Amino acid sequence: MDEFVLAIDGGGSKTLALLQNISTGQIWKDRAGGSSLTIDFESACQTIIELAKNLVQQADANPKSITLVCGVAGAGNDRWRIPLENQLKVIFSDVLVVNDGKTSLYGASDGEPSIVVALGTGSVAMRLDQYGQEKQFGGWGFTASDGGSGANIGIKLIKEVLFEFDRLKQSNCNIDSSNKVIDPLVSDCLNVIGSDSQAILNWLNKATASTYAALAPLVFKYKDTSPLAKPIIDETLNEVTKLIDLAQPKAHLPVIIIGGLAEALFPYLHINCDYKIKQAKGYSLDGALYLAKKMIKSKGE
């Protein structure tokens, strides 16, 4: 019977999966919406399980011949990790569910000593030292932590936009996206969240980490034209630098920046950071694949 590895990467906005036949090297890929365990646990579990089953069906594989590693946001909390792992163990041979920070660490570093900082909807730093020891820093969730993340940037922007909204109302200014007096960043943000009090309240009541993070690209879009953008970017860089400093031991390990914000922040960090910033060798999905193959290898030893 052929042996397979199944890698899953579950984040706030998307879920990626890859199934590989170890003997032939043939692969099957699929993707779905977000599956962060902290945003909607039941929906996240359903997304991951359905995605896994779809790939198994495509490959016409026996689930009991599959070693599965799932790196998913929120799995650092056993309250969510264990129930998901138990559901997957009913279907598959060997299962490991870990925080997506761990799979990002191994994907980006390919198992070499490094510090990997993942900046997406949330933020987390993972360190793999020369002794093979792993340690996580940050990743507590956007309500209390996740400095440097998309959600955190979105919250910063909303605070500034709401202040401007109240200021404009106080001066009896017409709050309309066509009003050229309004900062273009504020205008674009109001187009998303609404331009009257009730619409904004409705948006805020439904807002999640993912919806806040969806606003982050606006800040970088107007980095040269909005006076609100630069302070948000500067504060974000300070938060990322603090996270790197926290994770960095005396032996200066190379730092790898990954995630949806990596491209936007890399130029700033490359110039301003005291540490060596490297490009990632792979991604969270690659890390899950790496760990799955490592599990199979350890079984054979």
Residue 255 has phi, psi (to 5 degrees) of: -110, 130
The per-residue pLDDT for 250 is 78
pLDDT at residue 95, as a whole number: 96
Q: Are 28 and 55 in contact (CB under 8 A)?
A: yes
pLDDT (0 to 100) of residue 278 = 82
Q: Is 155 within 8 Å of 212 (Cβ atoms)?
A: yes
- Tell me which DSSP letter residue 21 carries: E
Question: CA–CA distance from 9 to each of 31, 69, 102, 134 (Å)?
Answer: 9, 9, 11, 19
Cite the beta strand spans of the chain per DSSP E: 4-10, 14-21, 27-33, 66-72, 94-99, 114-119, 123-128, 134-138, 255-258, 277-278
d(CA 106, CA 128): 8
- The per-residue pLDDT for 175 is 63
What is the pLDDT at residue 173? Answer: 67
Cβ-contact 34, 95 below 8 angstroms: no
pTM attached to this predicted model? 0.79
Q: Which domains does the chain have, with CATH numbers?
A: 4-110+283-300 (3.30.420.40), 111-280 (3.30.420.40)
pLDDT in tens, 58-86: 999 999 999 999 999 889 899 999 999 99
Which regions in the chain score pLDDT beneath 50?
none
pLDDT digits (tens, 9 = 90+) for 95-133: 999 988 899 899 999 989 999 998 988 898 999 998 889
